[in-house]
Structure 1
Amino acid sequence: MQIVHNQLSYFNNVLGGSISSFQGDRILQYDNDKGTGRIQTVSLGSGISYTEYDMDLNQDFNFDLKLDENRSLYFVYCLEGNFRFTKGSDSQKVEALQTVVVGGSNDTINIKLRGASKSNLSIIKVTQDGSAIDNNNHQELYDQLFATFLSEDGEPHIGTFNLKIKEQLLQIRAITQVGFVRKLLIEGIVNF
């Protein structure tokens, strides 16, 4: 999950603020002329990471989700606001309560957030990394997941509006437990 931590360092360089670690989560908080916000990441093991973006930007902001040498899937859910999503030459607008599922390898996915508006996203990244998969049950689940969402052409899947996903993601934000228990609760909700 080094890529997720490198991305948080990139945000820190661009947006300013400070990065802290707490109970396995890495958190970037910023409050300056570029806006205010909080980005929180947690690595859940078995090739899964979860990141929350709660950003109120004063200007447009672009960032890339990089697909590495391993097959990866990104589940990007827009809780509030909207964003433009670009992979290759295809660019689409994603509204609040919609999900984008995209994957592949060695591609770049660009997310563009509008300035002067609040953006609230949650991103689940699943990487099919052989060293992260600890048993055959996980391997079978990953195979089904990638077969379902990763088409030959790598086209993104944009879902319809879904309040149930928002409810699940808000449950993650409401978790008050710390340490290993928090991580297990987040992992359970993310798997659901």
Structure 2
Amino acid sequence: MKTLLLRSSNINSMFQQLSENLGGRLSIDYQEHQLDLENMVGQGIIRGLTFDTGISYLEFNMTFSEDCQLIVQNSRLWPICFAYCSDGSLMHSFGVDGEKRKLDYFQTGILASKEKKEQIFWFKKDVNLKFSLISVNMVGSMPSHKSELHNELWSTFFDQEENGTFIYIGSQNLKISDKISQLDAIAQKGIVRSLLIEGLVNMILALEIQQHSDDLAHLEKCTGSLTRKEMDRVKELSVFIENYPEKELSIKYLSDKSSLSPCKLQEGFKLMHNRTVADHIRDVRVQKAEELIKNTDLNISEVVYSIGFTSRSYFSKIFKQKYNCSPKEYKDRQFTLVATA
């Protein structure tokens, strides 16, 4: 079994240790570290960065060639870790001899120890793993940021635990997977990329905390009747809609394409996007239209029909609801901005 030992929460030291243990090519872009691997240890990418607020983000998108344990030692910061598994599965324990708990596909986990126990993540070989870890440092954070968030996390996940550890493995959450997909899609570089990542990481953190609250409020309620394969199909449909908004995307068509019943379609989209299938299609189309108006020379009618709408007046109505101006006003503003640049 391959052992990865991380003795520091400092992002530079952490990735130096990962590079020394795994090999690969390490690159840094405006404090974001990325380790690309394609060797005997495994294939994939590990990336991460730390923000001024004391929040760190670490993501493994890997297939290891042998079983691997990641040991995270931290004697100073008492971090609360928010874990999420987008693909594959893994095990977690506090200490080598601690109880192992499984974090499965689309599941959330919240992990903390007042006793500063080492955290161990167990990865299986030949498993396509996509795993993200958000750590909030509870000691040593900048004073200006050690306020409401830290106080709330401390009272929720530390004060009530007499034995010093807090482990919560939550129900499945597709909305977090969607936000992580948005992280992966960021194409910008430098400070813009860093700010976009920080914004999405904060949204993921909020969803993780909300998931915990929702699960406590609905202990007697299951998270839904969708199986893992059915949730995969919902994700695939979401990508399909984003890529082909101009198609005739009726419930029957999507149901036939995914082999999901209309009821399960609606349930899946409520889980992932917090809206109905029709509302999601409409929102995707309006966003695509905004991009076309801003970045192409197409007139409004051409934009309307290119993204699947048949009524210009209806399109204008929902565009104004979303952006607080008509499509023509928006296009005229873009032209004015370009002319005066």
> TM-score when scaled to structure 1?
0.90
Tell me which of 44, 49, 67 is aligned to 1:60.
67
Tell me which of 32, 55, 62 is aligned to 1:25.
32
Tell me which of 140, 150, 160 is aligned to 1:142.
150
Instruction: Look up the SS of the partner of 2:79 in the other structure.
Output: strand
Measure how far apart 1:118 and its partner are.
1.0
- Paired with 2:154 and 2:189, the residues of 1 have a C-alpha distance of 31
Question: Are the aligned partners of 1:67 and 1:103 in contact in 2 as well (CA < 8 Å)?
Answer: no
Matches within 5 A, 1:106-121: 106-121=116-131
Question: Are the aligned partners of 1:47 and 1:129 in contact in 2 as well (CA < 8 Å)?
Answer: no
- Paired with 2:148 and 2:119, the residues of 1 have a C-alpha distance of 26
Q: Deviation digits for residues 2-43 of structure 1, max 9, x if unmatched?
A: 533323222222221121111221111111112111111111
Q: Deviation digits for residues 156-188 of structure 1, max 9, x if unmatched?
A: 111111111111111111112222222222222
Task: Determine whether 1:160 maps to 2:171.
Answer: yes
Q: What is the CA RMSD across the aligned residues, in angstroms? A: 1.8
Match of 1:127 in 2: 137
Bigger Rg, which one: 2
Q: More strand by proportion, 1 or 2?
A: 1
- Paired with 2:84 and 2:139, the residues of 1 have a C-alpha distance of 23
- Paired with 2:57 and 2:100, the residues of 1 have a C-alpha distance of 24
Match of 1:97 in 2: 106
Q: More helix by proportion, 1 or 2?
A: 2
- Paired with 1:102 and 1:34, the residues of 2 have a C-alpha distance of 27
- Paired with 1:90 and 1:2, the residues of 2 have a C-alpha distance of 24
Percent of paired sites with the same residue: 29
Match of 2:235 in 1: none
Match of 1:186 in 2: 197
Per mean C-alpha deviation after superposition, the further-off stretch among 101-110 and 7-16 is: 7-16
Match of 2:284 in 1: none
Measure how far apart 1:66 and its partner are.
2.4
Matches within 5 A, 1:58-97: 58-88=65-95, 89-97=98-106
- Paired with 1:11 and 1:46, the residues of 2 have a C-alpha distance of 24
Question: Which segments of 5 or more consecutive residues in structure 2 lack a partner in the other structure?
Answer: 1-7, 204-341
Instruction: Look up the SS of the partner of 1:184 in the other structure.
Output: helix
Instruction: Look up the SS of the partner of 2:137 in the other structure.
Output: strand
Question: Which segments of 5 or more consecutive residues in structure 1 lack a partner in the other structure?
Answer: none
Alpha carbons of structure 1 residues 50 and 131: separation in structure 2 relative to 1, 3 Å: closer
> TM-score when scaled to structure 2?
0.53
Question: Are the aligned partners of 1:98 and 1:158 in contact in 2 as well (CA < 8 Å)?
Answer: yes
